[in-house]
Amino acid sequence: MSDTTAKESGVGATQVTLDSTAILNEARKQTGLSNFGCESFRPALQCLVTSLNAQADLNPVGRFMQYQRILNSLKNRLRMEAWINRYPEILHESLAPPVVIVGLTRTGTTMLHRILASDARFYAPLWYEVRNPAPYLDWEPDQPDQRIVEAREEVAALLAANPEIAAIHPMDPTGADEEILLLEHSFYSYVPNSFAHVPDYGRFVAEADNGPAYDYLKRQLQFLQWQKKRRGESAQRWLLKAPHHLHFMSTLLQTFPDIQVVSTHRDPVVSIPSTASLYYNLWLTGNPDASKHVVAREVLDVFSRGTAHTLQTRATAEDQFCDIHFENTVARPSEVIEQIYAFIDMPLTSQALQAMDRHRDENKRSDRPAHAYTLEEYGYTEAEIRDRFADYCARFIA
């Protein structure tokens, strides 16, 4: 059973209504399903829709994109519960303590994640899996997966809307990617904030109990692990990556008590403007009049608070953290890899090293266009950024 797309059901870019009840009903209609799982998502969904309508100033294309993302998350929730109802053993999947890469955005988290994910002993969430964790109900593990087709189309559409994105963040529909996109399906994530100006929703997420969202993340990982096994994959543990966990590190550690955190570091004077540039270019896809300075304020506020939260959380969990500096990841990757494998107590095999070398050879940064931005165009000064990250810089930035 494959549910239809919004396009197939006659919904056009100028016709969508950002109304939570209407979108919930559309998700039920398109899938023929009714069980969304844990009800904790509903207040977050309502806040997101209200904020999009009142604050985001989206053009028709932007409204359609947000409608589609919300609808897609709801359909994934419905399909996932249908799969679990069909195969209850999904929730019996045992998750070994994961390894997770966490740091400010633009600190090499993606590069490091994809290099380490070359080791077949890791399960890694792939982009098409985090966008659509629940297969269509006619999915067969040995047949072509429609989710990959849709992922390729979505990446192409994003890059067509703003080619600058390719210079900022590599997008690979079948490559390892971050599980914040899984959290998006719980409706407790900062993904909407990266695409639009929704400050009320951002405050809601920041102040809410994110425990149910991380519980849902765990449920999704069990589901993805079950799917990977059905495809014939076998690994020892999950390798995750998301800067988003900075903001909810205490919740992450409560949900996965034995998790091991690879903490990446880079001067925020470099990483924060780069993050603002990424967000700004994503905002442009739905609002051509997006303000660089509004983006910049949000990025600085959110990530300075998140960094402070993680520093506070580390005080009682230092042995679960391994610190890696961006400059070393670039200049001395072999030493960094050895350091990480010693920390997670896994032997570094010749097969793993060969796979990592192949990945680096096939994914050189020089193969992508340069990412150009300045502090001044986003209204930043070095002094302001260093002041907001004073404790962090004192500890990790020479």
Reported as a single tens digit per residue, the pLDDT across 280-312 is 999 998 999 999 999 999 999 999 999 999 999
Q: pLDDT value at position 360?
A: 87
Reported as a single tens digit per residue, the pLDDT across 379-398 is 999 999 999 999 999 999 97
CA pair distance 190, 205, nearest whole angstrom: 8
In this prediction, residues 188-209 reach a mean pLDDT of 97
Give the DSSP H/E element, type plus range, for residue 264. strand 260-265
Pairing state between β 237-241 and 260-265: unpaired
CA pair distance 302, 264, nearest whole angstrom: 17
103 neighbors 274 (Cβ within 8 angstroms): no
Query: Looking at the predicted structure, is the pLDDT value of residue 250 above 60?
Result: yes
CA pair distance 317, 338, nearest whole angstrom: 22
Domains recognised in the chain with CATH numbers: 98-396 (3.40.50.300)
Q: pLDDT value at position 125?
A: 97
Query: Looking at the predicted structure, is the pLDDT value of residue 154 above 80?
Result: yes
Residue 245 binned pLDDT confidence (cut-offs 50, 70, 90) = very high
CA pair distance 342, 94, nearest whole angstrom: 24
244 neighbors 180 (Cβ within 8 angstroms): yes
CA pair distance 368, 384, nearest whole angstrom: 31
CA pair distance 210, 207, nearest whole angstrom: 9
Q: pLDDT value at position 162?
A: 66
Residue 26 binned pLDDT confidence (cut-offs 50, 70, 90) = very high
189 neighbors 216 (Cβ within 8 angstroms): no
Query: Looking at the predicted structure, is the pLDDT value of residue 374 above 50?
Result: yes
What is the side-by-side strand order in the sheet with 260-265? 122-123, 237-241, 99-103, 260-265, 321-325
Q: pLDDT value at position 160?
A: 79
Reported as a single tens digit per residue, the pLDDT across 332-352 is 999 999 999 999 999 999 999
Mean per-residue pLDDT over the chain, rounded: 92
In this prediction, residues 141-161 reach a mean pLDDT of 89
Q: How many residues does the chain have?
A: 398
Residue 169 binned pLDDT confidence (cut-offs 50, 70, 90) = low
Helix (H/G/I), strand (E/B), else coil: 95: coil
In this prediction, residues 222-237 reach a mean pLDDT of 97
Query: Looking at the predicted structure, is the pLDDT value of residue 236 above 60?
Result: yes
Reported as a single tens digit per residue, the pLDDT across 34-66 is 999 999 999 999 999 999 999 999 999 999 999
Reported as a single tens digit per residue, the pLDDT across 1-23 is 344 433 333 344 457 999 999 99
Q: Give long-range contacts, CB 8 A cutoff, 24+ apart: 29-33.
A: 30/3, 30/4, 30/6, 30/71, 30/75, 31/3, 31/75, 31/78, 31/79, 31/82, 32/1, 32/3, 33/78, 33/79, 33/81, 33/82
Residue 155 binned pLDDT confidence (cut-offs 50, 70, 90) = confident
CA pair distance 307, 40, nearest whole angstrom: 26
Residue 365 binned pLDDT confidence (cut-offs 50, 70, 90) = low
CA pair distance 284, 291, nearest whole angstrom: 9
